[in-house]
Amino acid sequence: MPYICPICQNPLMLHQASKGYYCSKKHHFDLAKEGYLNLLPAQYKKSKQPGDSRAMMRARRNFLEAGFYQPMAKALAGIINTHQTAPTEMHILDVGCGEGYYSRQIEAYSDDSKKLDLHGIDIAKNAILAAAKKQDNARFIVASTNNMPYADQYFDLLLRIYAPANDQEISRLLKPQGLLLIVTPGPRHLWQLKEFIYKEVKEHAVDAPLPEDFSLIESQRVSFKIQPDRDQRMALLQMTPFAWRANADVQNKIQHSHDLQIETDFILTLAVKKK
């Protein structure tokens, strides 16, 4: 089984009759009717509802499902297809998966989706619930990405799209020669949005920082323009870390700008865990 107990770190085993998971010390976690598993004990929560708010999740869902980032998602799937060479299942974890958009895209664009074992982890329960509802052949859990309750060296590939993560945890969870696929903003990502907010807009760095025990395999830049409508622009703004700097006047200008085209710019970095 892929899971370990978040309380004692012993392996979790599925009890078929109760559809729950147990460890040898009798800690018990129920499998939700939607199919996800909550491995974030109440004593480990730092707030009542950790993770993104419902408004933020709704904004992200509406924007992503409109297909604006689909070219980047397709490029992600292409990299995974290239490295899906083993005859056995490829165990993949989306770290900070939100509502599972990229997991669904990876499955949709896979050359052989039957050989994908897809997992997702996020601290936001509402996001995981939505992800599980939309993709019943993937396995999603509620847990912190700082202490991910998975067995050592279980995964062949970890995907991290903007999400924070613990480098030691990433190294622990990946098999020897396991792959780490990171998506970071490219130099001109959302340039036109930022022009409304900052007096001087600065480019992002091209190189993504890697954990110490990883070596770079390849880096791919994916850039394209999008033209979201007024509501979609505001949803996009809510997805960004600079949204809090956009006051009411700035938001009004963004929303009512005529025919606004926005550059998207992503850096896809693939690295391998050293032996």
Fold classification of 47-273 is Rossmann fold (3.40.50)
270 vs 1: CA distance, rounded Å: 27
Q: Any idea where the domains of the chain sit in the sequence?
A: 47-273
| Winning range, highest mean pLDDT, from 40-44, 87-91, 240-244, 264-268 | 264-268
pLDDT at residue 96, rounded to an integer: 94
Residue 88's Cβ-count burial label (10 Å; 0-12, 13-18, 19+) is exposed
Q: Which helix (H) or strand (E) holds 185?
A: strand 174-185
Confidence band for 48, pLDDT divided at 50, 70 and 90: low
pLDDT digits (tens, 9 = 90+) for 132-171: 999 999 999 999 999 999 999 999 999 999 888 889 999 9
182 vs 161: CA distance, rounded Å: 6
Distances in Å between the Cα of 58 and the Cα atoms of 36, 53, 99, 235, 251 are: 19, 9, 10, 8, 18
| Winning range, highest mean pLDDT, from 26-30, 46-50, 221-225 | 221-225
pLDDT at residue 85, rounded to an integer: 79
Confidence band for 251, pLDDT divided at 50, 70 and 90: very high
Q: In what order do the strands lie in the sheet with 155-161?
A: 37-38, 139-142, 116-122, 90-95, 155-161, 174-185, 262-273, 214-226
Tell me what the mean pLDDT of segment 23-40 comes to.
93
3-state secondary structure of 235: helix
pTM of the shown model: 0.93
